[in-house]
Structure 1
Amino acid sequence: MRVPQPTARSARKAASAATRNLPSLAAGEVDVPFVIKGYEEVVARDTRWNEHSHPWHELLWNEHGASTAVVGSDVWCITPTLGLWMPAGQLHSASAVAGTSFRAHFFRYGTTSALPGTPVSVEITPLLRLLLERLGEPGLTDGSRAVTEAMVLDVVRPSPRALLVHLPTSELLRPIVEAVRADPGDQRTLTGWAAALGRSPRTVTRAFQAETGTSFARWVAAVRAQHAVRLLAQGFEVDVVADVVGYRSASAFGAAFRRTTGMTPGMFRAR
């Protein structure tokens, strides 16, 4: 398996990973005085949040670095350009790698109908970022805040792109899921996997389509993109990451990464 070799420093980081426990609250269970409220933090250690839910909607995004949210069998990766809308009352767990500057904007339950009642990717456009940052400015008058909040609610929209992986749970596909998530650079094809599992390619193809809504090749590409985001956030060089996640060249990896995230690997790593 082609992975960056662990160092003493990374071993210490893993040993000192933090876990945070939050309550599970129903949508609207707690009344809040705000329409939109921002929160930001740079996590010093790899951090995990238990499964929990909020009484308000939540828009998650990062100033830099990578974080992950898990809803059932869906794994969402969050970056500076692709945020995640988490509806009020939705159970989810989360994690972030050390050094990630994550942002969370809380929306009072019932304030917006532009986004669905299920988790969805949101593109963090320059305009949306500017408006959200303005809400955090000290001395903002009530009138200016109301106008800015109305503009945020007007521009926040689902994105056609998402760093999302649906995890199959059947016994048939479990060996594939475990192997590819452990080593995204695994070069075995669907035909090769079918032979290893003693099933026909048609059976495996149908199973992937039924459980993930996509093809085996696209599912592998999504797993690779999520793994690449985490490695780049930890500072690994682009060519190293390209090799680890199974691309024959840094240019091929760069093109695939940009199609998925809207950024080149170099741009993401710099941020």
Structure 2
Amino acid sequence: MSAKKRYSTTFPPLRHLSDQKVEKGLAHRAKLPPVIKKLVNSWKNEEHFNHISPVSLPSDDAIVALIHKARSILFPGYFTGTKLHQSNLEYFIGQETSNLFEMLVAQISMAIRHDCQRHELPCTNCDELSHQVAVTFIERLPQVLELLTTDINATLAGDPATKSPDEVIFCYPGLLATTVYRLAHELNKLEVPIIPRIMTEYAHSRTGIDIHPGATIGPGFFIDHGTGVVIGETTIIGQSVRIYQGVTLGALSLPRDAGEKLYKQKRHPTIEDNVIIYANT
């Protein structure tokens, strides 16, 4: 009888392979400290921008979460996994509103404190002021809801392609941009620093629609398609206005010193009631 053939399996030395990977990683990692030192030293130069300070800036992630929370209150049942009915609606709205209040206080407080530091002002009542502003903003939510209802109805009346209010609320970029604008506009009127712009720039990045929170927009506003729409800070828009994609309600480009002279002065168009502005105007 022939002897059984023996098979042997040889594995490469594991230690050798792992050592090679570690050595390669260490060799590349060794190049990082000089770059880190160069970056740190660059921020000693006042020409470079940084925020190295014990006073925190508002968090853009937290502000986006704040937008989502406000939308869940304004449109209950649309942007939450919770099943709602009349028996639990008040509890749900109460819980969401309480959470929104806490989120607002935290972010507004940071924004106000940072503004005080930037202008070298004493911050003696920043905490109390942030609470006052937060509750005033929440008190205005019913008015924001009324305006958004007119915006949804304007969309339903103005776009034959839409099938239902659900489609408008879930899908239409114009309504998302308008919702964020109307929320940011209230904070802007309350003179909250930086947060309103973070909010509208989030909507801009999501929709391609750039609405400055300082603009004044009446009820029944409808942006169709929306990509490329720009609405400047001092724009005034009446009621029942419809705007299509590519419309710019802007101002001339001005030197910085001229812009400062015109700060809060009227420099953007006024659109009267019942106007339609077609694409790329």
Q: Normalised by the size of structure 1, how large is the TM-score?
A: 0.22
Which structure ranks higher in relative contact order (CA pairs < 8 Å, sequence separation ≥ 6)? 1
The structure with the greater share of residues assigned to helix is 2
Higher fraction of strand = 1
